[in-house]
Structure 1
Amino acid sequence: MHGTVYTVSDVMTRTVVALAAGAAFKEIVRTMEGRRISALPVVDTGNRVIGVVSEADLLRKEEFRDSAPDRGQRARPPAGLDKARAVTAADLMTAPAVTVHPDATLGTAARVMARRRVKRLPVVGDDGVLRGIVSRSDLLRVFLRPDEAIEEEVRRDVLAGRLPDGLEGIDVAVREGVVRLTGRVRDTSVVPLVLRLVRSVEGVVDVRGELTGPPHRPALEPDLAQQEDSERPASRTSV
């Protein structure tokens, strides 16, 4: 893989507030309010992540506040009723927790967040021990990368190694993360690959590709073409 690849460990928050399984409901609310965070990992005595408690889990209690307990037990219990009755982190948490490895790429973390509809992920090692927390805002830090660093990587790691003539005849300009490529290339078949690789460079917002092929030889005027043909030696046929 080319260039600088950022991983979760590069952007995650390493100082993490976690809950013990026995943490009480009000303690959880106070912690979330005091830290201004919407979800907390729950860990066992070995600091291994066993679940996550979110604001949505806590709000189940308010959602079912006016529900009659016996009515929920007679028929099929509504989803979330058990959490509405919970008073500790162990009963409130969503388990197993959706986590991510420190070595995962930022793209991988972003896809996990999108698919699982979560705003933050506990970061755990191979042993399941909590190493940090990564949030949506953490993943966006890569877009603060300076334009100069992006331009250098595009030139050095993408264009120089992918185009037949390297950087000859190619101009690279980066402004606010948008990369603009202009110039001529000998082999236009590599342009789609080059554009895709440039787009994958960390911090790139968009790519504007204006790369064209070599200039074509201008067509001759009809009278010049006839003159050129008349000047060619006649072919001979052996009998």
Structure 2
Amino acid sequence: MELDSVMTANPACCRQNTPLRQVAQMMADNDCGMIPVVDEQDVPVGVITDRDIAVRAVAGGKDTTRATAADYMTTPVRTVVQDSTLADCVAAMEAGQVRRIPVVGADGKLCGVVAQADIALTGNDQVTGEVVQQVSKPS
């Protein structure tokens, strides 16, 4: 199965200088828990998750009014190439223990995101179970 059939194409993304509040609003507006952070050429340089905001910023007592995506994004970013197979994508998610992974084109630019939920929607219960189990293992 090809990634194009399961990924969310043209996902919302932000820059490193995007205010943290705006990143959180993007998550709410797009009903997602991860926003890729891209550079000026749209190449992913990190990701920021709802957990990054809630745990690292808010629960950590940080001043979120002045914070940007760069302050709380996770780097380095793990990506998969758009022409990868679903099996390759699953393997990358398992290896990195990530629930969502940015997809890049041959030029390295962001073109999509694959999430555990996307894999679950393929209807392959065995693959879905494997991904959930592997990414949920304590590191």
Give TM-score scaled by structure 2 length.
0.77
- 1:40-55 to structure 2, matched below 5 A, reads 40-55=35-50
Q: CA deviation at 1:85?
A: 5.8
CA–CA distance in 2 between the matches of 1:131 and 1:15? 5
CA–CA distance in 2 between the matches of 1:15 and 1:131? 5
List alignment gaps of at least 5 residues for structure 2.
128-139
1:134-160 superposed Cα distances (whole Å, 9 cap, x missing partner) = 11122233327xxxxxxxxxxxxxxxx
Q: CA deviation at 1:131?
A: 1.1
Q: What secondary structure, in the 3-state scheme, does the structure 2 residue paired with 1:122 have? A: strand
- 1:123-162 to structure 2, matched below 5 A, reads 123-143=103-123
Counterpart position of 1:102: 82
Q: CA deviation at 1:105?
A: 1.4
CA–CA distance in 2 between the matches of 1:34 and 1:14? 16
Counterpart position of 2:14: 19
Q: What secondary structure, in the 3-state scheme, does the structure 2 residue paired with 1:142 have? A: coil
CA–CA distance in 2 between the matches of 1:19 and 1:140? 26
CA–CA distance in 2 between the matches of 1:95 and 1:31? 20
Counterpart position of 1:61: 57
1:10 to 2:8 alignment? no
1:33-66 superposed Cα distances (whole Å, 9 cap, x missing partner) = 222211100111111111101112112122222x
Give TM-score scaled by structure 1 length.
0.47
Q: What secondary structure, in the 3-state scheme, does the structure 1 residue paired with 2:111 have? A: strand
- 1:165-180 to structure 2, matched below 5 A, reads none
1:118 to 2:98 alignment? yes
Q: What secondary structure, in the 3-state scheme, does the structure 2 residue paired with 1:127 have? A: coil
Q: CA deviation at 1:113?
A: 1.8
Instruction: Work out which structure has the larger RCO, using CA pairs closer than 8 Å and 6 or more positions apart in sequence.
Output: 2
Q: What secondary structure, in the 3-state scheme, does the structure 2 residue paired with 1:21 have? A: coil
CA–CA distance in 2 between the matches of 1:35 and 1:108? 26
TM-align CA RMSD: 2.3
Counterpart position of 1:156: none
